[in-house]
A and B are shown apart, each in its own frame.
Chain A
C-alpha cells in the first residue's frame, strides 16, 4: 500500500473527473447527467483519500470524503425525486425538450 505513488491516484482521479464532465456535457437524459455528477464527486473523493495518506496522524481527508459521500447520497435522492416529478409533468426527460418548457 505504500508503494503506489500518489500521482497515479491523482491521474486516475483526473481522468475520472474528465469523463464525468464529458457525460454531463454531452448527454441528454437527466439521469445520465446525474450519473456523471456522481462520477465527478467520486473523483474528488479519490483525491481526498489519497491526500490524506500524507497526513501524519489525522485522517481528515477520509473524514471529509465520508461527508462528501453522505451529501452525494442526499443530493442524489432529492434529485431523483425531482426527476420523477418532472417526468410526471412533462412526460419526457430530455434536456432539450425540457428547455422548451422554460416559461
Chain B
C-alpha cells in the first residue's frame, strides 16, 4: 500500500503523542475514571501498536528500497540559525518503533493484572505513558538535540518508575542511583552535541551525515570527531549500563516487575545502542576498538555475578548487562545491523523472561499474603529463588515462556537469540583476526570473552530454570503450612498469560526468518541490511552450550547441598569472594570508597573554607561599611555644615555691613556722604577722561 506523505506524518505524530495524551489524562483524572484508568492507557498503546504496524507495512511494501521519510519542520530560530526538527522514519526506526509499542502494550496488559490492588495504582499507568512517549521520541527523532531532550525524559521517567514504591527505602536509593548514573553519561552526550554543532552547524542526523561525507570521505578523521564519538558512547555507557557504569541496573530491580520488563529489557537500555547505531558514521577506528573492548568486558563481567545471585530478578538484570555488552561489542565491530537485530530479539525474549518471572513473584506474594492471613507470618523475601521450586506443574504457561525465552537468551538454535548471537560471535572472531594481523594478540581477548560469556550464560540460565521450576517447593519444607497454599495455586490470569504467549512467539525463530539457523535470508535482515550478512553455521557455540548444560547438571548436586544448608540455616555458606562477585564485583563499594567519600571530604573542606572566607568577607564588608559611614558623617559634619556655616556667616556679615549704613551715628553719615561724593567724582572724572 502506498500512503501519502501526509498520512504517514499524521500516523507518526499520533504514535508519538498518544502516550503523552494518556499520561496527561491519567495524571489528572485517574482517580475519577473507573478502574483508575488502566484500560485507557492500554487502549492508547494498542492503537499505537496498530499504527506502527501500518507504518511497517507501508514502508516494507513500498516500491522504493530503503525509503525513508523525513518531515522537517522549523522549530525556532536564534538569529540566523534556525533549528529544525524532523522525524526519522526508515526501516530501522520502524522496527524499533514496533518493538517499543508492542512491548509497552503487552506490559500495560500485564500490569493490569499484576499491579491489581497495589498502592498508588493510579500513578502507574501515567508513568508508563510518559515513559513510552519519551522512548518513541528517541526512536523517531532525527534531531540530536531533540533526542537529548527525550533521553533526559526517559531517564526521568525511569526514575519515577523504579522508585514507584517510594516508601521502600531501597527503591528510592535505586531510583536515585539510576538517574545519577544516567546523568553521568549524559554529560558525554552534551559534549558531543556541542562538538557536533560547532562543526556541522546542525543537529539533524541526515544533514550531519551529508556534511560528514563531504568533508571526511576518505580522509583521516580529526580528533574532535573522535571526541564526539566518545561523547555519544559515554551516553550509551550510562544508559545501556556498560562497564563501569553498569551498577545501577541490578539495583533498579526494586521497581515493579513489568517496569523492569519494559525499561530494562526492551527499551531504555536499548536506547543507548540505538543511538550508537544512528551516529555510527562518527566513530573513528580508535573509538570503535575502545567500544568493542568495553562491550566485551561488560558482557563478561555482567555474566559472572549472575552465577551467584539468589534473587530472581537480579539474575536477569545481570544477564541484561551481559547482552547489552554483546550489542555494544557488535557496534565496535562495525556490524551495526547484527547489533540492531540482537537488540530487537533481546527485547522480546528478555521482556518475556521478566514477565514470566513476574508471574512467579506474583504467586509468591500471594503465598506470603495467605500465610500472613493464616496467622503464620514468616518473613521471607518473595524474590529469593531458594524458596521457590516446583512451579512447572503449577504454572505451565509461565514455564514454557521462561523456557523458550531462556533458550533464546542462551542462543540455542531454533530460537531467536541464536540468530542474532551467532552473527555477533562470528563477527568478533573475524574482526579479531583482521586486527591481529600485526601481531596484536590481545585483540583475541574479545572473542575469548564473548565465547566464554556464552558458556557462563548457559550455566546461570539453567541454574535459574532448575531453581525456580524444578525440585520441590522449598518454602514448604521450611514452613509446612505453605504446602497447602502452594497446592492451591491456580494458573495465572489471562492478562498475564496472553502477553507471555505472545512474547514466547516472538522469541522463536519463526518471526524473523524461515531458516532456523540462518537469518540472513529472512525478511528482517533482508530489509534492513543488504543481504550481505552471510553467516555460516559454526559448531563452536553449540559445543559451548552443550558443555554449559553439562556443567550445570554437574553442579546440580552442589546446588542441592547448598539448598539443604539454606533450609536449615537460612543463609548461605558462600565464601567471601563469591559474595563480593555477587555484589557486582563490589563495584558499589569501590565507587563509594573512592569517589563518594572523596567527594564528601572535598565538599566538607570546601564548605569550611567557604564559610570562613565568607564570614571574613562579610565582616570585612561590614567594617568597610562602618568606616564609610563614619567618613560620610565626617564629611557631612565638617564640609556640609561648614559650607552652611560659611553661607550663614557671609550673610550675617553682609547684613551687618548693610545695616551699618543706617547706624544712626552722625559721623557715619558724614563718612558715607563724602565717600559717595568721592565715588561719583571718580566715576565722572574717569568716564570723562576716557
Contact = CB atoms under 8 A, between A and B. Distances in A.
Interface string B655-677: 00000000011110011001000
Nearest to A24: B670
Contact of A26 (B664, B666, B667, B674): B667
A25 B674 CA distance: 10
A94 to B, nearest CB: 11
> Is chain B's binding surface mostly helix, strand, loop or mixed?
helix
A70 interface: no
Nearest to A100: B664
A88 to B, nearest CB: 21
B670 A102 contact: no
A25 B665 contact: no
Contacts of A26: 667
Interface string A74-97: 000000000000000000000110
B664 A21 contact: no
Nearest to A96: B665
B670 A95 contact: no
Nearest to B666: A95
Contacts of A96: 665
> Is chain A's binding surface mostly helix, strand, loop or mixed?
helix
Contacts of B664: 99, 102
Contacts of A24: 667, 670
Contacts of B665: 95-96, 99
A96 B666 CA distance: 10
Contacts of B671: 25
B674 to A, nearest CB: 6
B605 to A, nearest CB: 88
A21 B666 contact: no
Contacts of B667: 24-26, 33, 95
Interface in B56-73: none
Interface string A23-43: 011100000010000000000
Contacts of B670: 21, 24-25
Contacts of A33: 667
Contacts of A95: 665-667
Contacts of B666: 95
Contacts of A102: 664
A71 B674 CA distance: 23
Name the residue among B664, B667, B670, B671 with the largest chain A CB count within 10 angstroms: B667
Name the residue among B665, B666, B671, B674 with the largest chain A CB count within 10 angstroms: B666
A95 B666 CA distance: 8
A38 to B, nearest CB: 15
Contacts of A99: 664-665
Nearest to B668: A25
Interface string B623-652: 000000000000000000000000000000
Interface in A1-60: 21, 24-26, 33
A96 B667 CA distance: 10
A46 B667 CA distance: 25
A98 B49 CA distance: 126
Nearest to B667: A25
A24 B672 CA distance: 13
Contacts of A21: 670, 674
B677 to A, nearest CB: 11
B660 to A, nearest CB: 13
Nearest to B669: A25
A33 B669 CA distance: 14
A35 to B, nearest CB: 14
A96 B665 CA distance: 8
A40 to B, nearest CB: 11
Nearest to B671: A25
A102 B665 CA distance: 10
A27 B674 CA distance: 16
A99 B668 CA distance: 12
A96 B668 CA distance: 11
A17 to B, nearest CB: 10
A62 to B, nearest CB: 27
Nearest to B674: A21
A62 B665 CA distance: 35
Interface in B470-528: none
Nearest to A21: B674
A57 to B, nearest CB: 33
A26 B666 CA distance: 11
A33 B665 CA distance: 13
A99 B670 CA distance: 15
B685 to A, nearest CB: 15
A72 B671 CA distance: 22
A25 B666 CA distance: 8
Contacts of B674: 21
A21 B667 CA distance: 10
A26 B664 CA distance: 15
Contacts of A25: 667, 670-671
A59 to B, nearest CB: 30
A67 B665 CA distance: 30
Name the residue among A25, A26, A96 with the largest chain B CB count within 10 angstroms: A25
A28 B666 CA distance: 11
Nearest to B663: A99
A102 B666 CA distance: 12
A95 B670 CA distance: 14
A44 to B, nearest CB: 15
A54 B552 CA distance: 165
A66 to B, nearest CB: 27
A21 B674 CA distance: 9
A95 B664 CA distance: 11
A18 to B, nearest CB: 10
A99 B666 CA distance: 9
A21 B672 CA distance: 12
A102 B663 CA distance: 12
A63 to B, nearest CB: 27
7 smallest beta-carbon distances between A and B, as pairs: A25-B667, A25-B671, A99-B665, A25-B670, A24-B670, A99-B664, A102-B664
Given A96-B665, A99-B665, 4 more contacts: A24-B670, A25-B671, A26-B667, A95-B665
16 contacts: A21-B670, A21-B674, A24-B667, A24-B670, A25-B667, A25-B670, A25-B671, A26-B667, A33-B667, A95-B665, A95-B666, A95-B667, A96-B665, A99-B664, A99-B665, A102-B664
Interface of A: 21, 24-26, 33, 95-96, 99, 102
